Amino acid sequence: MTNLPKGSKKLLNAWAFYDWANSVYTLTIASAVFPIFYEALFSDRGHYIEVFGLELKNSALISFITALAFLFVAFFSPLLSGIADYVGNKKSFMKFFCYVGALSCTGLYWFELENIYVGLLFYFLGLIGYWGSLVFYNSYLPDIAFPEQQDKISAKGYSLGYIGSVILLIINLGMIMKPEIFGITGKTSGEAAMKAMRYSFVMVGVWWILFSQYTYYYLPKGNKETNRKLSGQFVFNGFKELKKVWAILKDNIPLKRYLGGFFVSSMAVQTVMLVATYFGAQEIQWASKEESTTGLIICILLIQLVAVLGAVLTSIASDKFGNIPTLIAINVVWVGFCVFAYFITLPVHFYVMATMVGFVMGGIQSLSRSTYSKLLPETEDTASFFSFYDVAEKIGIVIGMALYGIIDQITGSPRLAIVFLGIFFVIAVFLLRRVHKK
């Protein structure tokens, strides 16, 4: 571990490189290979399964498990963030969640419908690990970068994440489409492809742990000034820190208004991103199962590649027009996307939709994070402030995924759920307009 000064190029790059390490989770597990693998498990039994004493649609089931995981993270992250700032060792917390998430991805290798509870547990822990580590990763941004650096390094992080995850996904795609080249065999081509998908889950875990070591080497342990030992009252100290942050938020009108807009926007954005592949697998009229697998992965790759450009263009637009006007414009585009999604049926429609999503996905994530960082008051307790940001995001996802799952379960189709999410983007535009444009 080295002690690099705030604003150091090497320190900023090391921080951003964690996106390279962990973004393989969002692409392979959350977006591409696992959803396809999960859908393939149901290919011979329809879309329904009896679990927890209920007959649930498979996509609704995974939506509810996802919502439960985010509810867990939302409940515990404020407490853990307060503790991390209090003892000045948030890197240890970040490592813990990173390793939980990575090892859980490896555990997905054993996901089977016959033992679905174990598989769902690994999926649940993978979500907790990924999002839990992000609480502490995001909180480092104001610690390691000056305000004028934060937009660009935040965008660089997302760009590195998109590029790194695409590299691994291309390798996984080769394994799935041509398993024999990689020495992966099975009684049928479909069985070999399923085995390749299982191997890809293991590769995600190894990639995540391996590349995160560069980040951990350069990141500071935490805030030196708050390097204190835990006392018997550490739980209450954590809540005390949160209470102080809440008091500041009530008096900080721009930050409070921004968090309102971010809450409803994130609710819709994250839900769309998490369910896109399930939507494509069930609602698009693919010519064959093989075309479905290839087409869905190509769409995910397209989203990632376009998102790199989207993040960079958003950073440029924010410099020229300001962060809030740029965020408003992006939310307007998301409204159009939700309306368009209701009518798509053909693969070409899905490719067009993937391009639209790519441009606005990277931009809204990167700019939302850096805008919040800029609005923070001068403070050393950045982890506690960012826990509010993350809690808003997580509670939004809980609501979004729960609504999606309920509508999907009741109607048997997710189309109305996507349109319903568009309403939240409209609300976000209205709320963001109340934030000072500068």
Domain ranges of the chain: 9-432
Tens digit of each residue's pLDDT, the chain (438 residues): 567 878 788 899 899 999 999 999 988 888 888 998 998 888 777 788 888 888 999 989 999 999 999 899 888 876 776 666 666 678 888 999 999 999 999 999 999 998 899 999 999 999 999 988 987 888 788 788 887 787 788 878 878 887 888 899 889 988 988 888 989 888 887 788 899 999 999 999 999 999 999 999 988 876 554 445 555 455 565 566 667 777 777 778 888 888 888 888 888 888 888 888 888 888 888 888 778 888 888 888 788 778 778 878 888 888 888 888 888 999 998 898 888 888 988 999 888 888 888 888 777 877 887 788 888 887 666 667 776 777 777 888 899 999 999 998 998 888 888 888 889 999 989 988 888 655
User: Which tokens is 395 given?
Assistant: 């509670």
Instruction: Return the DSSP state at 26.
Output: I
Confidence (pLDDT) at 226: 47
Q: Which of 311, 436, 332 is nearest to 375 (CA)?
A: 436
Confidence (pLDDT) at 199: 96
Confidence (pLDDT) at 53: 85
Name 54's bridge partners: 51
Q: Cβ distance 196 to 175 under 8 Å?
A: yes
Confidence (pLDDT) at 239: 63
Confidence (pLDDT) at 436: 66
CATH hierarchy code of domain 9-432: 1.20.1250.20
Strand bridging mode 48-51 / 54-57: antiparallel
Q: What is the pTM of this model?
A: 0.82
Mind giving me the DSSP string for 209-249? HHHHHHHHHHS-SS-GGG-----TTHHHHHHHHHHHHHHHH
Q: For the chain, give the longest Cα–Cα distance.
A: 65
Confidence (pLDDT) at 406: 93
For residue 326, the Cα-to-chain-centroid distance in whole angstroms is 21
Confidence (pLDDT) at 320: 87
Confidence (pLDDT) at 383: 63
Q: Cβ distance 184 to 195 under 8 Å?
A: yes
Residue 304 amino acid letter: Q
For residue 68, the Cα-to-chain-centroid distance in whole angstroms is 15
How far is it, in rounded angstroms, from Cα 385 to Cα 387? 5
How far is it, in rounded angstroms, from Cα 31 to Cα 311? 18
